[in-house]
Chain A
Amino acid sequence: MFENLQDRLGSILNGLTGRGALSEADVSAALREVRRALLEADVALEVVRDFIERVREKAVGAAVLKSIKPGQMVVKIVHDELVEMLGSEGVGVDLIAAAPVVIMMVGLQGSGKTTTTGKIAKRLTDRDRKKVLMASLDTRRPAAQEQLRQLGVQTGIDTLPIIAGQSPTDIASRAVQAAKLGGHDVVLLDTAGRTHIDEPLMIEMAEIKSRAKPHEILLVADALTGQDAVNLARNFDERVGITGLVLTRMDGDGRGGAALSMRAVTGKPIKLIGVGEKMTELDEFHPRRIADRILGM
């Protein structure tokens, strides 16, 4: 399916082996291949354009080292730049705030919010010894609240009792209140999925925020997302000001270009990645690994 970028660049640049510096023309030819590779990995076009210009500046005139072929040289520059743009690793969920620390999960329908809520709650409970409360504010999708309740039972983590007919904003207030009374360190708010052009639901999301005053707002997005990644990330960020990203379904065989897209347009760190359906399948983000994957290496 996808030829290794290095092979492709090698055949374009092989005239240069081991001598001189990369010329403008060499670089342009190579960058056309890089552009294509990134697009095939689902990096959004506007992000690809920006990326290519950054690489161009670094690559033109770069001396080709004796030990390294020009194709490899370009791949190295591309790889380094990808890692840089993807951001630093180990930016965890921030809990430095007065208890109960409120974490709100947002995202498109089916992106993995409820599952990730359970996973984060479990992680904070097991690794950080926190007392966690989970609450589902999803009054729309059939059995959404029941889903989180069951995850609570599975993981042994408290969930806010379901009261039929209560609005999402009222549930948010009740959750924070219950966490205060219950002595919880953290309260996780799972919200209903919404498309970023659904105005009433985007307004609702902002209302939940002003009611619950979350310390973290995590945008949960599918790693398999295509070009729409920039639209959704930008819109969610503009409407509520996300504090970080969680990419789910990283256990798939997608190339994961959405990671770069969303990171680039929001500037917000990728805090965690979902690597399976089980409650333990949550990992830290490693930019180097994602860069390898985007490049098919």
Chain B
Amino acid sequence: MNYALIALGITLIFAIMGVLNFAHGQMYVLGGFVTYYVYGVFGLNYFVALAASAVTVACVGLVFERFLFRRVLRITTREESTMLLAAGTALLLDSLGLALFGEKQRGVAPVVAGVYEIFGAFVPASRALIFVLAGGLVGALLLFIQYTRPGRALRAIAQDKETAALQGVDIDRYSALGFALGAALAGLAGGLLVTVFAVNAGAGTPISIKAFIMIMIGGAGVVSGAILGAFVLGFSEALGYFFIPGSTTYLMILVGLIVFLIFRPQGIMGKPWG
């Protein structure tokens, strides 16, 4: 479910802007650190911390969109320009994270205590909470995109930007909204997972790569693909860590991905947005 949040965030940004957000993992890390400080250090309510993570990272996304991506997208049509810019923002956040937060691994105490037994498996209550929260957020996002006026505008931009403008959609405003929302999702995922895995300033790049893998499996720019990709990756990881020792798992996942892409380069659900 957390992976779904990450994959949906990066999908949203890609579908609206045509930008592959290399800094997605770094945004996730930033969200984790914000929750770490607000909840772990200052001791405020966990939900306040989550909201702070979402808002902070959304603001970073807004600044990136408004001052960097919008301008580059206006002056050039070459895809490598935005890719380089995206890679640059990732490096920027990486270095800033290291400078601000140091290199230490930061975790927080479980949000709720206790253990549930579900179908014979023992699940810490804290993990169950995170799972439910992430699921709720994914559901809320899908409902927002499917049934609200701004949601329709975002879908319209993803499918046909010029025609969306002809219906009266302010493209700049809604692109900013899409970017901020995608970033906020990364921040929320960070705030949720910091309670389970802890974060450190260098964790961004692997998360970005995982996000790319998920949308490659599912199909870039497709909501259903993002969710599917997240589940495929999540299950592959779980199975791999259970049956295969250590780091071999990711090697196998990546080899599997390459083979998969040879046969279906557009991903499982590969088509524009729906």
- Do chains A and B stick together as partners? no
